[in-house]
Structure 1
Amino acid sequence: MLSRKNIIEIFSTFIQFDAERFYCWATDGRLRRSMQVHISNSPDECSEDIWAIYWHKCWQKPEMAGIAKQHLSAYLQEACYWNSQKMTQTFTNTQHTLSDFFQIGIIQCDRILKGFNPSQGFVLKNYASTIFGTVIRETLRQRHEVDICSTWGILRKISQKRLLESLENAGLSKDTITCYVTAWNCFKLIYVPHQASTSRQLSRPDDKIWEDITKAYNSQIIGQNLPQVNSQGIESWMQACAKAARNYLYPTISSINATTGSDDAYEFVDNIPSNEEDSLLTEIIATEELQIRTLQLAQMNQILIDAVNKLDVEAQAILKLYYTQGFTQQQIAKELQIQQYTISRRMSKVRDTLLKTLAQWSQEKLHISMTSDLLKSTNAVMEEWLQSYYSGVRS
């Protein structure tokens, strides 16, 4: 794949695939004109990192969020592409192709933009590279779980929080969601499979169980101004819940190459008020400060690598199987022939060890004390770092 060198291209072009391989960079005329106007107002700025921070600031302004997100999506194309290529090498047994991995990652731009904090010294492209790897892995694990669950199995496994999110995502009204969740709670309470049953491949409850679920539901809604329903209606609701859960956990991927406008379309920049934004130089951090933070980030990376290399053989094997091969804790336990609860405990201990190492370095070198909020943020970054570090490790 040819890398983009020109600032205008970096923030206005998108990858197009042909036969599941990189084909070319497709230019969005509207984004190109937008970048040309902005660069003409700040001709001395030629750093893509600085422009990324600028557009990230614009993304946080409601009136600029749309165009800013598109510029940043263009900017992050290469980071997503290289992560997707790593996924094709790591997950060789999956039916997903390079372009599939790419689409899974790139639709998560909002998650990346929300989690990015330039004040912590990260470069957006580097931060995004770790997140893309994480979201692709999460989606693959999630899809595998959804694929192998029957309608009744997924209803037993899903949490109420996820079910609510699924029904809200489906656009259902609050009253309908209340009915569905109440019925679902009755379903989970009454339909308890036998121990010999496989929870993922549960069969349909028999008619007697549906009648019991219906009675429980109708008794619970007394005085709540909710509709009475028969057993056929309850079953239909549960099927709707399962469908909503599948659609939410396994969404349809829309191509990023879909047409967004032509060169003859209206120009967004024509409608931007002249006083809508401050000067670029007043919006971004100084280049010298960025260089210092980049150096600190490199030092932090080396500190963590050294800490990982000091771990015992078993701990390193666990991390490698989890992050490189995508194994579950159960699979790791079987592979290493140790108890599953030991895996969970060892992974927690390793994360704590790495966090303490990082906290000590931050206090000694950066004079930063770890507050509870900062520790929580650092813990999330630590997880992303582990994903990134082991993405380059091969068994």
Structure 2
Amino acid sequence: MHPRNSIVKIFSTFLQFDADSFSGWATDARLRRSIQNCIDKNSQIINRSDELAEQENFWANYWYKIWLKKSARLAQSHLSAYLQETCYWIAHKTVQSFASNQYKLSDCFQVAIASIDKVLKGFNPERSSGFKAYAKAIFSSAIRDTLRQRHEVDICSTWGLLRKVSQKRLSESLINSGLSPEVVNNYIIAWNSFKKLYVPQPGKPTRQLQKPDPETLKAIAENYNLQVQSLQVQSLQVQSLQTQASQIQSQIDPQTLENWLLRSAVSVRNYLYPNITSANTPTGEGDTTEYLDYIRDEKDSFISQMIDKEEEENRKSQQSEVSGVLKAAIESLNQQTQEILVLYYSQGLTQQQIAQELQIKQYTISRRLTKAKEVLIRSLSQWSQENLHISVNSDLLKTNSTVIEEWLEQHYQQSRN
């Protein structure tokens, strides 16, 4: 993939795939006009650096501030364009870590870029080393979570999947498939009957659960019918339930029950494997109206620029202190754990590859990485409490976990360079 070499392209073009491979950059005409207009209007106050990375950071912060003030769709679109390469390389790294080709690069890319809202809402300039670094951590987490869910779906049989899925996920899946609320209620009652009566035998894995025998299907259907009858009796006593009860199918046979359960499983699989269409695809419209027509001039005053500069210096000072704290925490780890961190973050090896390199078990690698992150999180949380007077709670620990992940990526990347 060839990188983009100008600010206009970086903030107005989107990556395109062809047969799961990079095929080029597609330009959104409105975004191109927008960024060019901003460059022209702000030419007097922008520090014209020869470093493209510095210019990127300026415009990323510029659009993030606009989004923060107005939640403007224009700003979000520019930032989404800006993060295209970051998203691509995170997806590429994830796909390369799997021995098989079961996960496509384009799918992982779309899963990651779809989490742009989470990046925008979670980014905190005072706690992060940069917008792109934070997005990198969020994209990686989004892909891993999605693949973890899909892996569970892949290895489960139809009936095993129905045993493991939650009622909330099943309900979401059925609604997403286009079923009416009344029909969804029918399916949920049938599923609860299935869960109640078809219990795996002790010692046998739930994931590969086989189809219930005819007698069990008959018993499940009868249990469904009894539940519906009970609900109808309650509806006579409680008027508010009458409408709900009247909409539930009162009697079903084993074949109908089986069909409902099979459709439920299909809905869950489709829900976890959606057909993703990128929101970044250019429309190609000839509309001459620009987003900037609806946005006021965002030029900052000289005083505002001074305040921003002072805040930036404070952030850099804090980031330097945090970096020192985390480096000291790494040095406190044993030599083998430090070596594992280098192999994982600097050389990009998978846990399995590291295990082969060091001749130790893979689960040991996983535990060492987890333990190392816990040490760094405790160090960062203690520093935050002592210097920023932030109380340690679950939200802080969750935030610090994300910060640690992106810091490790950046720290070892710089070490390699």
State if a TM-score over 0.5 links the two structures: yes
Give 2:257's aligned residue: 234
Query: Are 1:253 and 2:261 counterparts?
Result: no
Instruction: Could you tell me which runs of 5 or more consecutive residues in structure 1 were left unpaired when the two chains were aligned.
Output: none
Please report the TM-score for the alignment, with normalisation by the length of structure 1. 0.78
Query: Are 1:7 and 2:7 counterparts?
Result: yes
Q: 2:257 is aligned with what amino acid? A: I
What is the CA distance between 1:349 and its match in structure 2? 5.7
Note if contact 1:121-1:290 (Cα within 8 Å) is conserved in structure 2: no
The count of residues paired between Structure 1 and Structure 2 equals: 382
Percent identical residues: 42
Q: CA 1:201/1:383 → structure 2, altered by over 3 Å: closer, same or farther?
A: farther
Note if contact 2:381-2:397 (Cα within 8 Å) is conserved in structure 1: no
Give 2:326's aligned residue: 304
Note if contact 1:167-1:177 (Cα within 8 Å) is conserved in structure 2: yes
SS at match of 2:207: helix
Q: CA 1:189/1:171 → structure 2, altered by over 3 Å: closer, same or farther?
A: same
Query: Are 1:197 and 2:204 counterparts?
Result: yes
Give 2:42's aligned residue: 42
- What is the distance in 2 between the residues matched to 1:245 and 1:391? 39
Task: Spell out, residue by residue over 1:333-370, the C-alpha distance to the aligned partner (whole angstroms, 9 max, x if none).
Answer: xx9669x8x99988776554332211222344x33333
Stretch of structure 1 that moved more, 33-42 or 142-151: 33-42
Note if contact 1:180-1:237 (Cα within 8 Å) is conserved in structure 2: yes
Q: 1:297 is aligned with what amino acid? A: Q
- What is the distance in 2 between the residues matched to 1:172 and 1:19? 33
Give 1:53's aligned residue: 61
SS at match of 1:203: coil
Task: Spell out, residue by residue over 1:169-219, the C-alpha distance to the aligned partner (whole angstroms, 9 max, x if none).
Answer: 435444333333332222112111223533222221122222222222233
- What is the distance in 1 between the residues matched to 2:27 and 2:118? 24
Superposition RMSD on alpha carbons, in Å? 4.0
Q: CA 1:206/1:136 → structure 2, altered by over 3 Å: closer, same or farther?
A: same
Note if contact 2:377-2:404 (Cα within 8 Å) is conserved in structure 1: no
Q: Which has the higher contact order (CA 8 A, sep 6+)?
A: 1
Task: Spell out, residue by residue over 1:4-31, the C-alpha distance to the aligned partner (whole angstroms, 9 max, x if none).
Answer: 3433222101123456554433211011
- What is the distance in 1 between the residues matched to 2:272 and 2:59? 34
- What is the distance in 2 between the residues matched to 1:194 and 1:232? 24
Task: Spell out, residue by residue over 1:277-328, the C-alpha distance to the aligned partner (whole angstroms, 9 max, x if none).
Answer: 765566997134234424533543453354245334786799888996367x
SS at match of 2:318: helix
- What is the distance in 1 between the residues matched to 2:193 and 2:338? 44
- What is the distance in 2 between the residues matched to 1:391 and 1:213? 56
Please report the TM-score for the alignment, with normalisation by the length of structure 2. 0.75
Q: CA 1:219/1:92 → structure 2, altered by over 3 Å: closer, same or farther?
A: same
Give 1:325's aligned residue: 350
- What is the distance in 1 between the residues matched to 2:103 and 2:401? 27
Task: Spell out, residue by residue over 1:77-129, the C-alpha distance to the aligned partner (whole angstroms, 9 max, x if none).
Answer: 12112223323443343344544433332232223223223343442111011
Note if contact 2:129-2:407 (Cα within 8 Å) is conserved in structure 1: no
Give 2:159's aligned residue: 152
Q: CA 1:247/1:306 → structure 2, altered by over 3 Å: closer, same or farther?
A: farther
Work out which of the two has the higher radius of gyration on C-alpha atoms and give 1 or 2.
2
Give 1:125's aligned residue: 132
What is the CA distance between 1:266 and its match in structure 2? 4.0
Give 2:82's aligned residue: 75
Stretch of structure 1 that moved more, 367-376 or 124-133: 367-376
Note if contact 2:12-2:35 (Cα within 8 Å) is conserved in structure 1: yes
- What is the distance in 2 between the residues matched to 1:243 and 1:391? 43
What is the CA distance between 1:157 and its match in structure 2? 1.4
- What is the distance in 2 between the residues matched to 1:363 and 1:195? 48
